């Protein structure tokens, strides 16, 4: 069974535990600027949205890399960066339409979510379950369920 990150922005409190856990997992230190997941803050709306690589099936980053440093690891369902091959050209950061690949000044290479080898630190650290690691085929069902419930409530209100 292929798994993926399921992010529910409605549950995110902006605590940044996911960023801290990710940076510690990959860099050995608590430094959100080195995290592969980011929490965007929408001040006017008063909400937070965690954002990480979606592991696109037709990954533009992988196709754009001139040195084939991004590979498709099908066992984990991730597109991962092979550090030994990466030359830090940043072409993949330009190619990614979602902006989820970042350049690391510290290493001179790019970094992106690799699902922590199948046990994502961000999901383990999230105190509100805004980030869950679940069956990839199920990631849209909860959203559909919420929209269906809203539709029923709206229909009942107008009846």
Q: Judge whether 34 and 60 are in contact, CB under 8 Å.
A: no
Give the whole-number percent of the chain exceeding pLDDT 70: 91
Q: Domains in the chain and their CATH numbers?
A: 1-52+113-159 (3.30.70.20), 56-107 (3.30.70.20)
As a whole number of Å, the end-to-end CA separation of the chain is: 43
Query: 66: buried, middle or exposed (CB in 10 Å: 19+, 13-18, 0-12)?
Result: exposed
CB-based contact 95:104 (threshold 8 Å): no
Whether the per-residue pLDDT at 45 is higher than 90: the answer is no
Judge whether residue 154 has pLDDT over 70: no
- Burial label for 63, CB within 10 Å (0-12, 13-18, 19+), is exposed
**Nearest-5° Cα angle at 146, 48 to 20:** 30
46 pLDDT tier (thresholds 50, 70, 90):
confident
Residue 139 in contact with residue 1, Cβ under 8 Å? no
Judge whether residue 141 has pLDDT over 80: no
Whole-number pLDDT of residue 155: 66
- Model confidence at 138, pLDDT cuts 50, 70, 90, reads confident
- pLDDT category at 143 given cuts 50, 70, 90 is low
Rg, Å, the chain Cα set: 17
**Please, which pLDDT band fits residue 40 given cuts at 50, 70 and 90?**
very high
**Mean predicted confidence (pLDDT) in 96-100:** 93
**pLDDT interval class at 63 (50, 70, 90):** very high
Measured CA to CA, the distance from residue 133 to residue 129 in angstroms comes to: 10
pLDDT of 65 higher than 90: yes
């Amino acid at each position: 069974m292929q798994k993926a990150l399921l992010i529910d922005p409605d549950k995110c409190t902006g605590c940044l535990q996911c960023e801290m856990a990710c940076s510690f997992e990959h860099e050995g230190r608590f430094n959100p600027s080195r995290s592969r997941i980011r929490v965007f803050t929408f001040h006017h709306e008063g909400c937070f949205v965690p954002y990480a690589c979606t592991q696109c099936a037709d990954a533009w980053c992988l196709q754009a890399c001139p040195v084939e440093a991004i590979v498709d690891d099908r066992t984990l369902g991730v597109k991962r960066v092979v550090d030994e091959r990466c030359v830090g050209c940043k072409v993949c950061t330009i190619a990614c339409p979602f902006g989820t690949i970042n350049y690391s000044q510290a290493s001179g290479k790019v970094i992106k979510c690799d699902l922590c080898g199948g046990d994502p630190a961000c999901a383990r650290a999230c105190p509100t379950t805004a980030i869950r690691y679940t069956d990839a085929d199920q990631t849209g069902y909860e959203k559909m369920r919420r929209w269906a419930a809203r539709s029923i409530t709206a229909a009942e209100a107008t009846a």
